Amino acid sequence: MSSDVSTPAVIIKAEGVTKRFGSVVAVNRVDYELREYEVAGILGSNGAGKTSFFNLLTGYFIPDEGRILYQGQDVTRMTPQERVALGMMRTFQLTSTFDNLSVIDNLVLAFFRAHRKSSLWQLLTNTCKQHRKDEKILATLASFDLERVANREVSHLGLGEKRRMEIAMAILAEPKVLLLDEPLAGLAESEIKGVLDVLQRQVGRQTILIVEHKISHLEHFLQKLIVMHEGRIIAEGGYECLQSPEVRKSYWQIDEAAA
């Protein structure tokens, strides 16, 4: 029992995963382990392969080589739907929401799939209205500071609100692993704080994996990180690994040039 606490079980494992696009090797034989309740990050400059690797984990792409295990089960060729059913939930770099629905109905859709069997019969015999007053949804609205805009169509929201809502949708589904693709991209300082506050509350409840381009805002948040460059992991560990010469060369240099 005590050993369980000290070293939590591996929840996601990648073994020699490779993905090519034409002649470009986007992800090159990557081995990776993510343990339960970890808050981990994948860093790297643009084109380093971090989003491709992330897409392999979530089922958006199928790897050309290697295996992906989820709780010991081979999920390499599973569809995104099947992975969701197992407890993996992702967000998208360019916020992906249902802009033609209200905020609350977006949450209802996320909630409903996670808590009911979404057979067509269930979809037909339940109305959105029945679930709009659900305690969990109302609590989520409140904790994500979305109450004010609950009935507004998502197309009228600002980017910060949309991003918060997308994370709210992911969390409402109560996944075991929360996979966030650049959750801070394009946000203003004040909005970043809002998103981080929200994420902070999930620490210890879910395993969290974040892909980020910029590390500055996540410094006190991530417990473990990997740095990718040209499709490979070049450093792994705590923040000290950012100081290694290889990382300085590949990551910081490009970042400085961009800034």
The rounded distance, in Å, linking the Cα atoms of 25 and 55 is: 14
96 or 243, CB closer to another protein? 96
Task: Sketch the per residue contact string, 89 through 118, with another protein: x for CB under 8 A, - otherwise.
Answer: xx-x---xxxxxx---x--xxx-xxx---x
The rounded distance, in Å, linking the Cα atoms of 239 and 220 is: 10
To another protein, the closest distance from the beta carbon of 123 in angstroms equals 4
Mark the segment that binds another protein (CB under 8 A) among 68-76, 87-95, 157-165, 222-230. 87-95
Torsion of CA 132, 117, 95, 139, to 10 degrees: 40
- Kindly give the interhelix angle for 103-115 and 159-172, rounded to the nearest 10 degrees: 20
What is the length of the chain?
259
Residues numbered 191-220 forming contacts with another protein, rule: CB under 8 A: none
Task: Sketch the per residue contact string, 117 through 136, with another protein: x for CB under 8 A, - otherwise.
Answer: -x-x-xxxxxxxx-x-----
Q: Is 73 a residue that touches another protein (CB under 8 A)? A: no
Task: Sketch the per residue contact string, 150 through 189, with another protein: x for CB under 8 A, - otherwise.
Answer: -------------------x---x----------------
Using only C-alpha atoms, the chain has a radius of gyration, in whole angstroms, of: 19
Q: Which of 247, 206, 257, 249 is nearest to 226 (CA)?
A: 247
To another protein, the closest distance from the beta carbon of 113 in angstroms equals 5
54 or 251, CB closer to another protein? 54
Going from the C-alpha of 46 to that of each of 151, 202, 231, 250, the distances in angstroms are 37, 27, 11, 11
Residues within the interface to another protein (CB under 8 A) = 58, 79-81, 84-85, 89-90, 92, 96-101, 105, 108-110, 112-114, 118, 120, 122-129, 131, 169, 173
